[in-house]
Amino acid sequence: MKKRILTGDRPSGRLHLGHFVGSLANRVKLQEEYEQFILIADVQALTDNFSNPQIVADSVRELVLDYVASGIDPQKSTIVVQSKIPAIAELTVFYMNLVSLNRVLRNPTVKTEIEQKGFGESVPAGFAMYPVSQAADITAFDADLVPVGDDQLPMIEQTREIVRKFNSLYGTVLKEPEALMSDFPRLVGLDGKSKMSKSLNNCIYLADRAEEVEKKVMSMYTDPSRLKPTDAGTVEGNPVFVYHDAFNPNKEEVEDLKNRYRMGQVGDVEVKQKLVLAINNFLEPMRIRRSELEKNPQKIDAILKEGVEKGNKVSEEILSKVKTAMKINYTFK
């Protein structure tokens, strides 16, 4: 029997190349080895989009399009919408009794995200409870493994603490998940910032048309000290070459461009034009898969319906075990 994996995303916009190199490519590989559930975490997305829920609603089907375009096979990976799984909400309520508010707020990942979002003293309670909700996500699907980077390790440890607390009080019911460490590369933004981010508007999206890619690449940040094509340029840390390394399969061409760039024998325009071609070649199969699915919206609904049905079957079994252990699985004759 295959081990089960849970991954997921908050639906708050389209996915970009940073998501692909950071997690989507890994999921495509994992679906061949594991039973993979992919959670569209719309309830969690509402914790910081509560005043504009339409963003979340509009993004659910967009995520399915991006998943399938990226190579996720709905026959191998189960795509589940969080808000359609009632057991997750119920488990979250139970788990909130197993952890203190101070412990949740000390979670390094939560502290970092609170600071990034600028909540100050007005942190929504729902956002603060994110680690508890995530524990419910993971245990509801009886996940053995959760693929994460270093920054998410505190969230998995929080889940493990909650599971241990529950099992110590009520008997061994819940599975204590393991973190599946993934060395996700971080793709710098088009502007040279530390990472690609929707909020910084420095992304190439998986759904971008060829002309959009060209426009974005040609405006990319390069070596600011290089004033003329004949000036020696810096390759290391240069976003254009970071992208060439990630998306240009012609490694001989990349090395040639790097050598000529260092010697001042090639201009930024040529380097970028070759990058446009490489990225568009990379994205074209995704555009084709996306276009085929866009023409068949009933297929999107079928993928989500099937995923929710399977997700509810698994999570309701876990919830029943939890409530029985807590002696609140009442039956009335």
pLDDT at position 184, please?
59
Q: Say what angle helices 297-325 and 130-140 make with each other, to 10 degrees.
A: 100
Collapsing DSSP to helix, strand or coil, 230 comes out as coil
Beta strands (DSSP E) in the chain are 4-9, 35-40, 77-81, 145-148, 178-181
The answer to whether 107 touches 128, Cβ cutoff 8 Å, is no
- Dist. CA 13–CA 208, nearest whole Å: 13
Residues in a beta bridge with 4: 35
Provide CB contacts within 8 A for 316, sequence distance 6+.
87
The answer to whether 38 touches 67, Cβ cutoff 8 Å, is yes
The answer to whether 179 touches 202, Cβ cutoff 8 Å, is no
Beta strand pairing call for 77-81 and 35-40: parallel
Sorted by where each starts, the structural domains of the chain and their CATH numbers stand as 4-187+297-325 (3.40.50.620), 208-290 (1.10.240.10)
DSSP-derived secondary structure for 63-124: HHHHHHHHT--TTTEEEEEGGG-HHHHHHHHHHGGGS-HHHHHH-HHHHHHHHHHT-TT---
Beta strand pairing call for 178-181 and 35-40: unpaired
Q: Say what angle helices 130-140 and 108-117 make with each other, to 10 degrees.
A: 120
- Dist. CA 56–CA 49, nearest whole Å: 7
Provide CB contacts within 8 A for 203, sequence distance 6+.
16, 17, 18, 189, 190, 196, 197
Residue 54: other Cβ atoms inside 10 A: 8
pLDDT at position 148, please?
86
Q: Whose CA is closest to 28, among 147, 179, 144, 187?
A: 147
- Dist. CA 93–CA 115, nearest whole Å: 25
Q: Which mean pLDDT values do the consecutive 10-residue runs of the chain (333 residues) have?
A: 92 91 91 97 88 92 96 97 98 96 88 82 85 96 91 90 97 95 79 82 95 96 89 93 95 97 95 98 97 95 98 98 96 89
Q: Is 201 left (phi over 0), alpha (psi -120 to 50) or beta?
A: left
| pTM attached to this predicted model | 0.91
| Count of residues in the chain | 333
